[in-house]
Structure 1
Amino acid sequence: MPSLLHLLVGHTYMVLFVWVLVEQGGVPVPSAPVMLAVGTMSAAHKLHVAYALPLVLFACMIADISWYYLGKRFGGRVLNLLCKFSLEAATCVEKTQGTVVRRGAITLLFSKWVPGLNTVAAPIAGQAGIPFGEFVIYDMAGTLAWASVWLFAGRFFGDVAKRSHEFFATLGHLGVLLVVLMALGVVVYRFMKRRQFVTELRGLRLEPAQLMAMIGDAEREGQEPPFIVDLRHPLDVLTEPLVLPGALRIGPDELRQRHELIPRDRDIILYCTCPSEETSAKVAMDLRRMGVRRVRPLRGGLQGWRDAGFPVDGVGVI
């Protein structure tokens, strides 16, 4: 395997730029190990943090501004796309939307550090109508802090490693392998978390056709229909003011806090924005722990219901 020192001389600035751009573009390949490696090898004066830092900022600026305008233009459809490609079980946008609405652009100061929030903060900022100038200032300030910590942490490690010439030489030869192993380790960890979540979810999901049949059966027999809850954030309702027939709009936190008001003698059906029904699945699991047994998330959420060709109702948006 070629020495990391040799690789850094000719290609690493470009590798760093492309890697960060790809990660910020939504692909789950962590760039922190690469920034650590660049910072470490800057101790050998083959690379310079002063050159690497602007590249990271530029890559993030390209990706984040693109996501900002996509979120502003397309809203929930962009977030659905990000949910599909995410390996984070906690990536569903509901919590992020709530954070952006409560804290505004300040959220961007720490969004790069939070898995999931890192990916969806920019499009949600656009969806929430945060002014572009304010978005850029806070986003770049947060990116600067995030990139500086990783790069200078690597530089500190490199300065310490330099005290042992043998160790530093070994680090140079094995550096590429270490970076790859670190990145793979993060991806595998996220994949395993995602797989565990999907395993827990299996068997809970309700297909749109099953729900439609339940509604039809209740109408024919004169019984109460399923208790359907729309968990979507108001920002999503603004861009898509539609609900399932008879659905009530209740936020996840409110539903958890007032679970004693949920009818126990009816099927409870939850749906959200994410096509992988992250929020509705988690709320369903929480409610089951609280004793609400007849609760299930709707596969595909509102989009899955519409894709199946079933009817929807309009909703007034204040």
Structure 2
Amino acid sequence: MENITSLFSQHGLLALFFGVLVEQLGAPIPALPFLLLAGVAAADNGVFAVQALAVATLASMIADSVWFYAGRRFGHRVLALLCRISISPDTCVRQSELSFARRGIATLVVAKFVPGLSILTPPLAGAMGMRVSSFVLFNIAGTLLWAGSGIAGGLLFHNQVGQLLAYLSQLGDTAMLLVACGVALYIVIRIWRRWRVKRSVASLPRVAPAQLADLLERGEELVIVDVRVSLAADAQRTHIQGARHIELSGIETAPVDTWPAKAKIITYCSCPNDASALKAAYLLGQRGIAASVLHGGIDAWIDAGYPVETIGHA
């Protein structure tokens, strides 16, 4: 924290710009201290608050635009890359998609206040085919709210922030040790939870794309379940011919009485490590229905050159 304070005191708006830019690009460097320090500095200069808000918004929009176009160009592959470096790689995309399903594009407004969601929202918006104008409008609104809140916090509580910074400086290595212990405990808990979930689904059978194609060609009785979250209204989605769309959140209550008794059940998604499809198969197993998982999901199916149906959303 002392290094951040020193950096800001020497470079001001430039430090704020790069602090926000680097964080929004995905580096584990918090931008909030820079925003708070900008608010503290603005206590003696009201114009500085406006300048800081503009600089922070510009930096964030540059980073978010990079991720948005990466998502539009590379789709869920860029999301999988981001999730591989997260603590919860098997669920982060699904949680972000659920947020879009519940809040729509308003997710862009609140994303920066939710840990883990901020970095994933721009590429997910791009992968979902969101219009550039919609992305820019709602992302700017969310960025202004987020950056403005941080600067306003520093402005309103500049005395308390100054005292806190002085206290942390006095603690020195002790403060860093406490923070490191807290982060380590958090990581251990998340890794344990991830291991527990993985163990519960490790025995579920997988079906390769070639095997599924062969089953379809032979006319085998199948129930193929697409468990992906519904996409944005202006997006297009592709699915395997004949697949039934049942979101993961609805698997436990989905009516399965009409499913053929001897049909082979296969679930699939588009997420790292087939996380959603595995959980769907597990939940179906809890209901007494044996299910397999399409290995690699629809991405592997498409990469193998097998046909899909495309449905445009109005």
Q: Same fold (TM over 0.5)?
A: yes
1:232-271 Cα distance to aligned partner (Å, 9 max, x none): 34659x767353x875443324433215436787664322
SS for the counterpart of 1:67 is helix
Q: Describe the shift of the 1:155–1:300 C-alpha distance in structure 2 as closer, same or farther (beyond 3 A).
A: farther
1:126-168 Cα distance to aligned partner (Å, 9 max, x none): 3444432332222111111112223333454541365x6xx76
Q: Describe the shift of the 1:184–1:108 C-alpha distance in structure 2 as closer, same or farther (beyond 3 A).
A: farther
CA distance in 1, matches of 2:52, 2:60: 13
Q: Please tell me whether the aligned partners of residues 68 and 126 of structure 1 are also in contact (alpha carbons under 8 angstroms).
A: yes
- C-alpha deviation, 1:2, in angstroms: 6.2
- C-alpha deviation, 1:231, in angstroms: 1.8
Partner residue in 2 for 1:312: 306
Identity %: 32
Gaps of 5+ in 1: none
CA distance in 2, matches of 1:106, 1:226: 37
Q: Please tell me whether the aligned partners of residues 266 and 294 of structure 1 are also in contact (alpha carbons under 8 angstroms).
A: no
SS for the counterpart of 1:277 is helix
Asked whether 1:255 is paired with 2:251, we answer: yes
Gaps of 5+ in 2: none
Asked whether 1:125 is paired with 2:125, we answer: yes
Asked whether 1:279 is paired with 2:273, we answer: no
- C-alpha deviation, 1:296, in angstroms: 5.2
- C-alpha deviation, 1:61, in angstroms: 0.4
- C-alpha deviation, 1:62, in angstroms: 0.6
Partner residue in 2 for 1:62: 62
CA distance in 2, matches of 1:183, 1:19: 21
CA distance in 1, matches of 2:292, 2:22: 35
Partner residue in 1 for 2:20: 20
CA distance in 1, matches of 2:260, 2:153: 53
Q: Please tell me whether the aligned partners of residues 2 and 173 of structure 1 are also in contact (alpha carbons under 8 angstroms).
A: no
CA distance in 2, matches of 1:137, 1:96: 19
CA distance in 1, matches of 2:165, 2:266: 58
Q: Please tell me whether the aligned partners of residues 230 and 271 of structure 1 are also in contact (alpha carbons under 8 angstroms).
A: yes
Partner residue in 2 for 1:38: 37
Q: Describe the shift of the 1:58–1:89 C-alpha distance in structure 2 as closer, same or farther (beyond 3 A).
A: same
- C-alpha deviation, 1:204, in angstroms: 1.6
Q: Describe the shift of the 1:187–1:32 C-alpha distance in structure 2 as closer, same or farther (beyond 3 A).
A: farther
Matched AA of 1:135: F
Partner residue in 1 for 2:77: 77
Partner residue in 2 for 1:197: 194
- C-alpha deviation, 1:274, in angstroms: 0.8
Q: Describe the shift of the 1:141–1:299 C-alpha distance in structure 2 as closer, same or farther (beyond 3 A).
A: same
CA distance in 1, matches of 2:154, 2:275: 35
The counterpart of 2:225, out of the listed 215, 223, 229, is 229
Question: 1:259-270, aligned counterparts within 5 Å?
Answer: 260-261=256-257, 268-270=265-267
Question: 1:200-219, aligned counterparts within 5 Å?
Answer: 200-202=197-199, 204-205=201-202, 206=204, 208=206
Q: Describe the shift of the 1:241–1:210 C-alpha distance in structure 2 as closer, same or farther (beyond 3 A).
A: closer
Provide TM-score, normalisation by structure 1: 0.70
Q: Describe the shift of the 1:50–1:69 C-alpha distance in structure 2 as closer, same or farther (beyond 3 A).
A: same
Q: Describe the shift of the 1:134–1:260 C-alpha distance in structure 2 as closer, same or farther (beyond 3 A).
A: closer
